[in-house]
Amino acid sequence: MARTPLMAGNWKMNLDHLEAAALVQRLYWELQDANFDYSKVEVVVLPPFTDLRSTQTVTDADSMHIKYGAQDVSTHPDGAYTGEISARMLAKLGCSYVVVGHSERRQYHGETDQEVGQKALAAFGGEMVPIICVGEPLPVRKSGEHVAYTLAQLDGVFAELSGELARDAVVAYEPVWAIGTGEVATADDAEEVCAAIRVRLGELFGGDVSQRVRVLYGGSVKASNVAGIMAQPNVDGALVGGASLDAAEFARICRFHDHVA
Ligand code: PEP
């Protein structure tokens, strides 16, 4: 089955709402100048919550094909949860995607696999697609247990989801040691774990689901290394942090088809 590649830019806690509007506009122009074909690669930006309204306004005004989403969502539908943002609120702002279980949320906010699964469920409840992040820290990589560790996270998250929902999820394999460090996993490292994720999805939900789910790689992706990573058969896109804050660089990443691997 042909899976449309997905390039998602995680802006993390950067840019106010005016800067966000300017960045999405610049990205659009960069892609426009290159006659970018959005039917071949899906382009998504993931701004902070406070930037979503401006992102919606700018993308709607120019009928951009750039999609957007949030970096987190509450497991709760509404109520006395000070500081949280519900799936319904994000859906109302036109979000298509929600990142759940990013390693920074797991590390600094103690999110468990079960909670991440519930967040994915909440995203689906708002008719958004969760981008479910998994991946091992450095000591686990050094011990050689990275595949088992990542698959255990996957099992824990997907235990909260039915096959009906799982088929529409996106999984992002992000080795923690490669996030924001400049330390990129080799294309073979990325392929090893992304392929194992696909096999496990097949064991959990069957071949139809495993062939359909897009598995992204994330960790210091740049225009200079994206082509080799995207050449791997089980890598369907990238979750890009730092490099997505530069419109020209992120546009080059989205145009990976134009690079030689
Ligand atoms: C991320 O934040 O998900 C990420 C992969 O960051 P970076 O590209 O900066 O490593």
For 35-69, write each residue's pLDDT tens digit. 999 999 999 999 999 999 999 999 999 889 999 99
Closest CA to 243 of 216, 215, 219, 214: 219
**pLDDT score of 255:** 97
**Residue 104 Cβ contacting ligand 1 at under 6 Å:** no
Is 117 close to ligand 1, i.e. is its CB under 6 Å away?
no
The residue whose CA has the least distance to atom 7 of ligand 1 is 241
Predicted confidence (pLDDT) at residue 261 exceeds the cutoff of 80 = no
pLDDT exceeds 90 at position 184: no
**pLDDT for 1 beyond 80:** no
Distance 102 CA to ligand 1 centre (A): 10
Give the residue, out of 6, 7, 10, with the most ligand 1 atoms within 8 A of its beta carbon, to mutate for a pocket test: 10
Nearest to 168 by CA among 117, 116, 127, 114: 127
CA–CA dist 28, 22 (Å, integer): 10
130 lines ligand 1 (CB under 6 A): no
How far away, in angstroms, is 242 Cα from ligand 1 center? 6
pLDDT in tens, 123-175: 999 999 999 999 999 999 999 999 999 999 999 999 999 999 999 999 999 99
- Any atom of ligand 1 within 6 Å of the Cβ of 10: yes
Higher-confidence residue: 260 or 50?
A: 50
- H or E segment and range at residue 198: helix 187-205
Mean pLDDT check: name the lowest of 157-161, 182-186, 213-217.
182-186
Determine the residue of 7, 105, 179 to mutate for testing ligand 1's pocket, defined as the one with the most ligand atoms within 8 A of the Cβ atom. Answer: 179
What are 57's two structure tokens?
Answer: 């306004």
Whether pLDDT at 180 is above 80: yes
